[in-house]
Chains A and B, each alone.
Chain A
Amino acid sequence: LAKTTQPISMDSYEGQEVNITCSHNNIATNDYITWYQQFPSQGPRFIIQGYKTKVTNEVASLFIPADRKSSTLSLPRVSLSDTAVYYCLVGGAMRFGAGTRLTVKP
């Protein structure tokens, strides 16, 4: 299983763009990268998934460099409601690490 490393926490302000990077040095050739979001007292919610380059949906963008040893979740113009824990998963194992606790301030 590919090990992932993310910052424990990040702070931001409303309206800013937030980038959360996940390191996964031993990612396997076929592994996809998936991000989930968890609000307090709720179950996680799928945000985005990608294999290489860039993926964008209505919620976020995912940037994956050519070597695929890291990935960056980008949240445009965050609001207070984006305060949550963000998890990076690699491959199909559905294993969650500690995640990144994002706090958006007014």
Chain B
Amino acid sequence: NAGVMQNPRHLVRRRGQEARLRCSPMKGHSHVYWYRQLPEEGLKFMVYLQKENIIDESGMPKERFSAEFPKEGPSILRIQQVVRGDSAAYFCASSPLARAPFMNTEAFFGQGTRLTVV
């Protein structure tokens, strides 16, 4: 059973371009989380999705960022018109069960995509 796959591992974009980050969850997992991490900092929650639904997007910037998790295919984090401040590592995690209010279902993380905006 392959783990969570993220691609590309490294992505370089010029300011103003679009960045598309892909996350293929583990087989059987229908819940995906996206995080952003700056060097030497913790993971900042961005969005929590179930297939075809956004459950919690409270951590997503209001503009330029969007996420989806279609019925078929990987989850996509899309950043439009990238700026230098978007440079970071972006991690996704998947879990087989819905997040309970009081309990974490063990989530499995990918290796991350390192986005560099030049």
Contacts and interface: CB of A to CB of B under 8 A. Distances in A.
Interface in B43-88: 43-45, 48
Contacts of B45: 93-96
Contacts of A95: 45
Main SS of chain B's interface residues?
A: loop
B99 A96 contact: no
Given A30-B101, A32-B102, A42-B112, A94 B42 contact: no
B111 A94 contact: no
Interface string A78-98: 000000010101011111111
A54 to B, nearest CB: 18
Residue among A30, A31, A94, A98 with max Cβ neighbours from chain B (10 Å):
A94
B109 A97 contact: no
B107 A46 contact: yes
A94 B102 contact: no
B106 interface: yes
Contacts of B2: none
Interface residues of A, number: 25
A97 to B, nearest CB: 5
Given A43-B109, A43-B111, A43-B112, A92 B101 contact: yes
A30 to B, nearest CB: 4
A91 B106 contact: no
Contact of B102 (A31, A97, A99): A31
A105 interface: no
B104 A94 contact: yes
Interface of B: 4, 33, 35, 41-45, 48, 91, 93, 99-112
**6 pairs of A and B residues whose beta carbons are closest in the complex:** A43-B109, A30-B102, A96-B43, A34-B104, A32-B103, A98-B42
